[in-house]
Amino acid sequence: MTIEERYTHWREVIESQKTSGMTIADYCRSRDIRTNAFYAWRRRISKQETSGSGFLELRSPVLGMATGVRIVAAAGFYIEVNRGFDPSILRSVLSCMGSR
């Protein structure tokens, strides 16, 4: 498993625990995950997301979709704009995000 695959796997595990309504201890116990591994990966991922490179990943839309582009941030949120969007609005949104 590559390091990218490990990060993806653990992001999914951490998100699943958040939405499960279970405590970390109960979640890990029910899935036979060592809690120290869970906490270590959560720290590692949090550190990576907060000390990111400052770049956003751009993904091209799936063929047939009406969107023009989806901008995915390391923190997991995204901005999706349709074809023919107003660039000045996107600039304003990105400016607001940059001031966070």
For 6-16, the pLDDT digits (tens) are 989 999 999 99
Give pLDDT tens digits for 20-72: 999 999 999 999 999 999 999 999 988 877 665 556 666 655 555 555 777 77
Decide if pLDDT at 74 tops 60. Answer: yes
Task: Give the number of other Cβ atoms within 10 Å of residue 71's Cβ.
Answer: 17
What are phi and psi for residue 75, nearest 5 degrees? -75, -5
Domain locations along the chain: 3-50, 57-98
d(CA 74, CA 97): 13
